[in-house]
Structure 1
Amino acid sequence: MGAPVNCPRSKPSREDDLSEYTPMPWTLKEIRAAIPAHLFVRDTPRAMLYLIRDLLMAAIVWKIGLQIDPTFKRVDVLSLMTPVGAEAGRWLAWVAYWWMQGLIFTGIWVIGHECGHGAFSAHKWVNDIIGFITHTCLWTPYFSWRISHHRHHSNHASMERDEVYVPKTRSDLGIPQEDDKHVIDYDEYLGDTPIYTMYMLIRQQLLAFPAYLLFNVSGQKDYPKWTNHFDPNSIIFTKEQRNVVIISNIGMAGMVYLVKAACATYGASYVVKLYGIPWLCVSHWFIMITYLHHTDPELPHYRRSEWNFQRGAAATVDRNFMGWWGRFFLHDVAHFHVIHHFFPKMPWYNGEEATGYLRNFIGEHYAYSDKPVFKALWHNYNECQFVEDEGSYHEAMLNTL
């Protein structure tokens, strides 16, 4: 096995701070045997209760949202708060609505994601019906995304085969090799002003998911130029999968019709406030969570025969994502993600207990970070830029948008 190569980042002098990564030696069968069998059992009624809880919360918050504008425009409220105070209160109420509904919608999306893995129920038809409805309502082509996401899980951290968050290489960015005679000024290639970096980061958080679905942004770079999730003949899909891709497209077309009809009936601004901005929050939370799962200076990527499934599964990190907010509303999707990569069909509500067994078994190969997630987002976006062109495996990943 070749020696690990740490990728130069915006501050190469910090490379010495990284510990050398040693790939794990165990088989997937050995790892699975370390986790009690009952934690793999899928309980459809229990999963359904989580979905019902989320839908009830969404309905209650939606009902409250409908009252925001009428309440702050009432004569008695205007008299009590003054017009300026009432307007400020109205927008503060909308911000609170977007925060809550965005988290609730993201939780519903996560349940659709679990359906895509078959973790919601042991019955495929239940998974597909629930997953198709929840994801379509949140602008995700369920079957199309399920196919590519399964490929991501099957090939995670493989430079040649992973589906998304595939690192750029030194040559991709046009950065020459460095040696004793040729010292690289990385700020010349990678340095940006904080304002521009913030702009790019916000753009990533809001648009990366639709950009991936539409244009394969951050996806496998060996795919043809116009690869996307809506073309039934795309390289992402096999001929046998063509019909379900079409079904996903029909669902998305139905959403276009429903949103257009809602705008005509209630007004576009109301639809944007009640539904559009919470959906943008879903896109943000989903991208932030997955980016931080798969992007960290100490997470490896493998080339060729050095990759195997369990090594790729361990190349992700659990994070304390906003404490109880993340655990309750987001169904532990960020807190216990490593176990999910090892065993995607394991129910999410068993993730905490199963992670304890996994961590005890694989030891130092289990990755966890309690760094505040927004701080980690800024740090990783700036620090993780590229990996070397050669080498069996690399410690470092990058921002790909």
Structure 2
Amino acid sequence: MTTLIPLRKSPQLDSNIKLRDIINTLPKEVFVKDARKAWLTVIVNLACVTAGYWLIAISPWFLLPFAWIFLGTSLAGMFVIGHDCGHRSFSNRIWVNDLVGHLMFLPTIYPYHAWRILHNHHHKHTNKLEVDNAWDPFTPETYDSFSPTMQWWYRRLRSRFWWVGSIAHWASLHFSWWAHTGKDKEQIRFSALFVIVGAAIGFPALFLTVGFWGFVKFWLTPWIVYHFWISTFTVVHHTLPDIPFKPEGEWNAAEAQLCGTVHCKYPWWVEFLCHDINVHIPHHLTTGIPWYNLRQAHASLQENWGEYLHETEFSWSLMKQIGDRCHLYDVERKYQSFAQYSVK
């Protein structure tokens, strides 16, 4: 039997509380960057990725799924390092952040500046209905305006095929530098061409050395595992049946970042390989906290703001219920499933 996610009746955050008021309760040391910890993370992550490729090379066919999962999860860890770089919480030097970020994103062909700019938009507008760009649920009116094909895709991405959501996001938004202007356009074009050139060199090299099956074995399948985790992390970060999305006129930054972000516990090896990206509430309050200080910051939030926090644990039951219930969002009715909407 599946245990339902209980709808949480947490107290309403006082509207007079500002985001800065919450941030000021965090220990000052959580904002301190530690170069030794940052670079040690890079070394450990690269060692895990190298070990993953080695395991794929030596594993018999029946052990390949374990090697693929290990490597794909380690690649997600590289993304998390690039994520810190994009928020300038890896190094105090912008050029170091950008260099490391580009290199961490290169194996998965992810344009760094495009992701950085779009992701910062998400942080600025978290859970703002029809403005947020990270798993923002569509309203019934927006859904009705789609073509039948788009509706079909949206139904899949919001249900059993959530795990390809980040692939759709990556392909549709991160290479379109012409949709931007000024410095953003130049940076996004550079990052897109950087990974396109990398793929133009790397993919033929793979085909020539290990053939089509080698390409599938060493790159494509780990890449899909990587996107499974990126999709899962990002949808769970802000999606539970009782987490509200507010229209712009009702949106409050403190409420959105503290009460609209989810802390989710994953298996220890996922949290280790992905550098505690699941400890997400303090990161949304302020992106200046490096990953290795997130747990200390979260402990402080539990002590001072615990009644407002959403905390859960990863499970197939959790993903099934998100996929069954969190489809369309109406300001008055909150989340509606596709089934509920079809019989309105």
TM-score grouping bracket, smaller chain normalisation: 0.7 to 0.9
Under a length normalisation based on structure 2, what TM-score does the superposition of the two structures give? 0.86
| Compared CA separation, residues 18 and 349, structure 1 to 2 (3 A) | closer
Long gaps (5+) in structure 1: 1-13, 69-89, 176-191, 216-227
Which residue of 1 is the match for residue 166 of structure 2? Answer: 209
> Larger Cα Rg: Structure 1 or Structure 2?
1
Which residue of 2 is the match for residue 230 of structure 1? Answer: 175
Long gaps (5+) in structure 2: 146-151, 339-344
Spell out, residue by residue over 1:200-246, the C-alpha distance to the aligned partner (whole angstroms, 9 max, x if none). 845331x321211333xxxxxxxxxxxx3222221xx3322111111
**Equivalent in 184, 196, 204 of residue 260 of structure 1:** 204
Which residue of 2 is the match for residue 105 of structure 1? Answer: 75
Which residue of 2 is the match for residue 281 of structure 1? Answer: 225
Q: Could you tell me whether the CA contact under 8 Å between 2:71 and 2:222 is conserved in 1?
A: yes
CA drift of 1:29 comes to 1.8
Structure 1 segments (4+ residues) deviating >2 Å: 14-25, 170-175, 197-204, 359-363, 394-399
RMSD: 2.6
SS of alignment partner, residue 329 of structure 2: coil
Spell out, residue by residue over 1:159-212, the C-alpha distance to the aligned partner (whole angstroms, 9 max, x if none). 14212212122333459xxxxxxxxxxxxxxxx9xxxx999845331x321211
Alignment partners' CA distance in 2, 1:375 and 1:246: 41
SS of alignment partner, residue 306 of structure 1: coil
Alignment of 1:111-260 (within 5 A): 111-174=81-144, 201=159, 203-205=161-163, 207-215=164-172, 228-234=173-179, 237-257=180-200, 258-260=202-204
Which residue of 1 is the match for residue 47 of structure 2? Answer: 56
CA drift of 1:350 comes to 0.7
Spell out, residue by residue over 1:242-287, the C-alpha distance to the aligned partner (whole angstroms, 9 max, x if none). 1111111111212321112221222121121122211110000110
| Compared CA separation, residues 200 and 144, structure 1 to 2 (3 A) | closer
CA drift of 1:93 comes to 1.5
Amino acid at match of 1:48: W
SS of alignment partner, residue 21 of structure 2: helix
Amino acid at match of 2:301: L
**Equivalent in 251, 258, 282 of residue 307 of structure 1:** 251
| Compared CA separation, residues 348 and 302, structure 1 to 2 (3 A) | same
Which residue of 2 is the match for residue 221 of structure 1? Answer: none
SS of alignment partner, residue 142 of structure 2: coil
Alignment partners' CA distance in 1, 2:6 and 2:317: 21
Alignment partners' CA distance in 2, 1:172 and 1:20: 29
